[in-house]
Structure 1
Amino acid sequence: VDRASPEGSFGDTGVSGTVAAFPGHTMVILAVLMITLVVVVVVGNALVILAFVVDKSLRNQSNYFFLNLAISDFLVGAFCIPVYMPYILTGRWMLGRGLCKLWLVMDYLLCTASVFNIVLISYDRFLSVTRAVRYRAQQGMTRLAVGKMLAVWVLAFLLYGPAIIFWEQVAGESIVPSLSLSPAQLWRD
């Protein structure tokens, strides 16, 4: 914590030139809130997935899209948020280049897939209202729903995935350190 600054807020640079962590009580509160968020997201979406698996009456075309949304949101809560928590709390990425790249790909993929799933659900609801007869005739066609679900994941990956994966080759360098450096040290170099 920066001794010159009584607040000790995130982003203050201390004597060593590294970004200071939050004060102890603030870090504890943030950690508890983030852990609570992870538990709520994981458990809530796991219940949606479990309901879909257990109750066969839920398996219609529109509910497949809700399942797809629950899967993407579950993975955000189970992987993306927990991996990002140490960085938020300490101001340092301490998990290495490989996990950084994996986290970036997964975070962008899952968040984009989540948004695309919401768009797909909205479009599905639109069709159910504007073309009700044709829509009800297609409710048993799960192959069509699975194809749309796969398209969501492929398009979400193609939007950011290749750029993240191949950025180092295109740029000729990586700004992510192999060791743990603070963002302040990254910007200075």
Structure 2
Amino acid sequence: SSGFIGLLGAGLSLLTIAGNSIVILSFILERSIRQPSNYFIASLAVSDLLIGLVSMPLYTAYILTAKKWSLGEFFCDLWLSVDYTACLCSIYTVFCITVDRFCSISIPTKYRAWRTERKVIFVVFFVWLIPILVFFTTIFGWQYIIGKRTVPGDKCFVQYMEDALFNCLLQVGYFWITLVAMVGLYSGIYKVGWLTGWLVG
């Protein structure tokens, strides 16, 4: 029922907001945990907080109104841009955490010397910049690229999804390639861990 969906959506949003707010506040207030690798955890918490604050409540409301959008074109595109940006930032941050773990295990001495606070902040900056450029440009700009807006006034969805080729290439570029790379890195992590355990044993 709509009441159950509303309660479930609100509950999940509040849990997401509360959990990630605690992580962010801990990172800000507790100097001892402000280590270079933990900047990735803070970045992940920020992206997930945005999902809890913006994406989940608006999507729940959209479902409860039988997918009737009443906030206008600008806020539709803004919601979608923030949602897609936060999700991709989350994916890229998890990828950075995986790279961080792989390098920490495979080349610990060299990597720890290289992994300074400034360099990690630089990486986190690009983790956010790339999704912002990709999605704010394509979601807000697609109607100008093709010369018209095809999203009905009472609906809200990403217009470029109507272009199967572009949508496919974009998803392969930002999701599937990242996923395959992460699987390869985790395989390397487990391999190094297994060899280390075998040698020690």
TM class by shorter-chain length? 0.7 to 0.9
Q: 2:151 aligns with which of 152, 171, 176?
A: 176
TM-score by length of 2: 0.73
1:45 maps to what in 2? Answer: 20
Q: Secondary structure of the residue that 2:149 maps to in structure 1?
A: coil
1:150 correspondence with 2:125: yes
Q: Distance in 2 between matches of 1:170 and 1:76?
A: 28
Determine the structure 2 residue equivalent to 1:90. Answer: 65
Matched, 1:72 2:51: no
Is residue 103 from structure 1 mapped to residue 85 from structure 2 by the alignment?
no
Q: Which letter does structure 1 place at the counterpart of 2:149?
A: S
In structure 2, what is the equivalent of residue 160 of structure 1?
135
RMSD value, Cα: 1.7
- How far is the alpha carbon of 1:182 from its aligned partner? 9.4
What letter corresponds to residue 54 of structure 2 in structure 1?
A: F
* CA contact 1:105–1:161 (8 Å) conserved in 2: yes
- C-alpha offsets along residues 92-121 of structure 1, whole Å, 9 cap, x if unaligned? 112111100101111111100110000011
Choose between structure 1 and 2: higher helix proportion. Answer: 2
Q: Which residue is equivalent to 2:101?
A: 125
Match of 2:32 among 57, 68, 75: 57
Say whether residues 1:32 and 2:17 are aligned partners.
no
- The answer (yes or no) to whether the contact 1:96–1:177 under 8 Å persists in 2 is no
Say how many residue pairs are matched.
Answer: 156
Q: Quote the residue 2:190 is aligned against.
A: none
Change in 2 beyond 3 A, CA 1:28/1:146 = same
TM-score normalised by structure 1 residue count:
0.77
Provide the rounded CA distance (Å) in 2 between the counterparts of 1:146 and 1:105: 23
The answer as to whether partners of 2:5 and 2:60 remain within 8 angstroms in 1 is: no
The answer for unaligned runs of 5 or more in structure 2 is 158-201
Larger Rg: 1
Q: Which amino acid aligns with 2:37?
A: S
TM-superposed CA distance for 1:170, in Å, is: 1.5
User: In the TM superposition, what is the alpha-carbon distance from 1:59 to its structure 2 partner?
Assistant: 0.8
Q: Secondary structure at the match of 2:37?
A: helix
Tell me the distance in 1 between the aligned counterparts of 2:102 and 2:79.
34
Counterpart CA distance in 2 for 1:103 and 1:59 is: 31
Equivalent pairs: percent with the same residue?
35
Q: Any conservation in 1 of the 2:21–2:45 contact (CA below 8 Å)?
A: yes
Q: Deviations over 1:131-170 (max 9, x none)?
A: 111222245x211011000110111123332111211112
Of the three residues 109, 119, 137, the one matched with 2:113 is 137
Unaligned segments of structure 1, at least 5 residues: 1-25, 184-189
